[in-house]
Amino acid sequence: MLPQAVHRLSRVWVPSGGGIAASGLEDGHAKLIRAGFLRQSHAGIFHMLPLGRRVQDKIERLVARHMEHALDASRVALSSISAESLWEKSGRLQNVSSELFRFSDRKGVPYLLSPTHEEEITSLVARTVKSYKELPLRLYQITRKYRDEFRPRHGLLRGREFVMKDLYTFDTTVHSALETYEEVRVAYTNIFLDMRLPVLAAKASSGDMGGDLSHEYLLPTPLGEDRVVSCGSCAYVVNEEVAEAAPHNEVSLDTDFAVWRGISKDRSTLINAWYPAKTSNPATGSVREYTGLDINLSAVKSLKPDLDAGVEDALPIWSAALQGPDRKATALVNIVDGRLPRSFSEKLASGRLDASLWPEELSPPQPPLPNFIHGEGRGDIYNPNLLRIRTGDSCPRCSTGVLKMEKAIELGHTFHLGTRYSEPLEAKISLPANTSPSTNEVENGGHRSDTPQTVPIQMGCHGIGISRLIGAIAEHRADKKGLNWPISIAPYSCVVIPAREADNADAVQVYQQVIGAVKTADGPLDAVLDDRNKSLPWRLNDADLVGYPIIVLLGRDWPTARRVEVQSRALGMKHVVHVDDLPPLIQHIHDTL
């Protein structure tokens, strides 16, 4: 076999900052910059440098392999430019307009840079697919997306330009669409397993995307902006937004209640969320105290969608609206936590709540308002649980489980969309007369149709944040020495480092021996030779900073004994072996990692 070409770091642009951090508080993003993976271009926008590009390429290849081999998906490349008219037709334009990069061409036609492609892919399929015989259809792409984040932060975790993998699925019936959904969930599980990531698949809210079934794929980390709730005894895993509370007893109507205040975006409505200040657990006898920081804003917003969740102190804004010349303030809404007794709601509704029972911050009582809204038992007023789940709470699904609350980063999301986009964008298929649901999976009330039919396509969309994965893995696996990549997506799986410049020729032979003998799913081992004109301590520190899974060092034992030192920080190992024993050891480490 002919020798493989040698990858040399001396021929790669790696603007590394060396091996010593300027601050002990360096996070994963700072390590990515210092190690030469990326550089910031503008706020929330980054240039990917050669090492970062290699990581991104490997993630893309790994994800593409699962899309094509496990799901038979075909790869497409949709334009980054979308027409505003499509978004108006789908009904999403106004809901997400604040996050869109919008522009017009020279003729005044309005366009936008796509943050996602549901409208475009649905329009494409609507123009192309006409018969049920062309389904199921699974199309995916890996492309740049754009979102005008109000406050981009955490580097690649929340940027304004990012790379996404989108999979769009098209099925004839709800039943077949749900089967596809489960196949995608399995594929996602395997993708994250290949990257050695302890991702939790959590039931989630569909939000502006639409549909009634979705799951988030969350990586627990203190840096996360999501919160995931999981049970230690059963399979209950959900995003906090849709978390349920275990059945509970009402608390007594005494002074142990409190109120959190919010306000609507148009400043017309003050929202009071009443909750127990203390609760007790009869099983353990423990007492828990709550403050306004424990209010689940998602629960409040589900009842009052126009809540401005960014306002921390609503009273001054409400007072100004109430007393202003235009008298914008028109209504007060009370939302009552289910642990407070029904008598509390009744007294609120009738205005008979004793002044002595009001918290001090409500004294003196509020002035009369133009319109007082309350409806006992109505879904928009009464909620079983307005408080965030806490670690240690009882599981709502099993009798013995205890819940754990963790911050997490969302890496992927799957949605069953149904006809959310296919109906407004007219993506339909024709069905022949006398079609049987049992033979062609056509839903028609369980009966054959005597006439041809045209029905909307059942859709799903499934995303993975490619560039976000880079930032999340860097943050999740980094240690005080540097980055620590999973071997499946590391920029290079192995680095060979000669201690002396005189050993460079020998290092090439070691390099060839390693890549020629070690086999991976993608071919020979992906190795690189660090032949840069830097000191050995600098290169060793830099190897730890970059995060190569395997380091092979031609050190002090090399000239006399032909022995090399093999390091793997992820496995916590350092072995000194004869060069002839090197390939099987590298193969073992590779297979273990």
Q: 460 and 490 in one domain? A: no
Peptide bond into 341 cis (omega under 30): no
Q: 210 and 270 in one domain? A: no
Retrieve residue 130's tokens: 């006409």
Residue 394 in this model has a pLDDT that exceeds 60: yes
Q: 377 and 353 in one domain? A: yes
CA angle 92, 78, 460 (to 5 degrees): 55
Would 50 be classed as within a structural domain?
A: no
Portion of the chain with pLDDT greater than 70, in percent: 83
Cβ pair 518, 9 in contact under 8 A: no
DSSP string, 61-91: HHHHHHHHHHH-PEE----SEEEHHHHHHHT
Strand order in the sheet with 101-104: 81-83, 110-113, 101-104
Q: 190 and 77 in one domain? A: yes
Q: 229 and 94 in one domain? A: yes
Q: 415 and 537 in one domain? A: no
Q: 488 and 425 in one domain? A: no
Over residues 413-459, the pLDDT tens digits come to: 999 999 999 999 999 999 887 654 433 444 444 455 567 789 999 99
Return the pLDDT at 225: 85
Return the pLDDT at 474: 95
pTM of the model: 0.84
Over residues 267-323, the pLDDT tens digits come to: 778 888 888 888 776 555 667 788 888 888 878 887 788 888 888 788 777 777 766
Give me the CATH number covering residue 547. Answer: 3.40.50.800
* pLDDT, mean over the chain: 84
Report for 179-193, 400-414, 516-530: range of highest mean pLDDT: 179-193
Q: 589 and 533 in one domain? A: yes
- Report the interhelical angle of 466-477 vs 50-71 (nearest 10°): 110
Q: Which residue has the higher pLDDT, 250 or 100?
A: 100
Gap between the Cα atoms of 10 and 533, Å rounded: 8
Residue 97 DSSP label: G
Burial 515-532 (b: 16+ CB within 10 A, else e): beebeeeeebbbbbbbbb
Return the pLDDT at 439: 39
**Domain with 105 in it:** 55-242+406-435+453-468
Q: What share of the chain is helix, strand, coil (3-state, %, to 5)?
A: 30, 30, 40
Q: 110 and 71 in one domain? A: yes
Q: 160 and 277 in one domain? A: no
Domains of the chain: total = 3
